[in-house]
A and B are shown apart, each in its own frame.
Chain A
Amino acid sequence: MTVEINIPPVFQAMVKGVHRIDVNGGTVGECLNEMAAKYPQLKAKLFNKRGKLPHGISIYINGENAFPKPLSKPVRPGDKIYISHIVLGG
């Protein structure tokens, strides 16, 4: 069984409408790296120059906020990762 990553609408628009992908990592960071390898156009959106999540990106695992240190949070097969890209318009 794999880990499912749910892609937020704005990133879906960058990967031809793909809404979710399955990956095999043991941590959130490994899963996101696998996703970035598959979709290099997302790399800069998922990691800043220091390899951290850029501001505005939040990660949820099975609905729970992965803050703090989201990239090192462990995940298990069957888990669902949600990437939320909250900018909020006013």
Chain B
Amino acid sequence: MTASATDDLTLTVHVWCQAGPDQPGDFVTSEVSVSPDTSFLEMLDCLNEQRMAGGQEAIAFDHDCREGICGACSLVIDGKPHGPEQETTTCQLHMRTFNDGDAIYVEPFRAKGFPVLRDLVVDRSAFDRIQQAGGYVSVNTGSAPDAHAVPVPKPAAEEAFDAAACIGCGACVAACPNASAMLFVAAKVSQLALLPQGAPERDARALSMVEAMDGEGFGNCTNHFECAAACPKAIPVTHIARLNREFLRSSLMPRS
């Protein structure tokens, strides 16, 4: 019989396990056989079923939508956040990306701002707090305005929309050699800086979101640009340049 795409893959999976925050951890090695059509998270589900059938505890990992929009599936696979595939979240990564017999290493995101809670689960609430520091428009803007009632130049709308694609997954932090959160904050600041609804609070937003970011213990950006390569939504680093401009302008020449 010739091998077909549906033959199961047998993989050696080394998964990081750690009992709790600040506990020592290590890789736990298991063999799993899965269909190439399963997603990475489904592979972990299979692995957990196997473990539970053998009387072991399931390995904790974070997930929610499993369709690439919630940003919960925060894993580092073989050293890369969200694994080897470009512009793909872990939940959308399929096992056909791997070859039969591969060894796969799975680790949690590692950053001071994202403390490990257990096994592969990290606490990403630092992003919520940064967002709460100003990543919104604080007046009720009502229901969607009539088309063209609020003039927005097409290129600005496009760029704002691209920035808005950020799902807050934190892969940028995980990939950054400095564990900097600049790409995430840049996406949030950019999106609103480009639109009229965001304009009135532009200065305060840049200042307080950067302050919140620094306060959470993320590193300083040194322009490696690893973030953009890891980002499942391909947010470009041009937004970081805009955040730098926004911050400079708000600090040196505030509009109000």
Report whether chain A binds chain B: no
A binding-site residues for B, Cβ under 8 Å: none
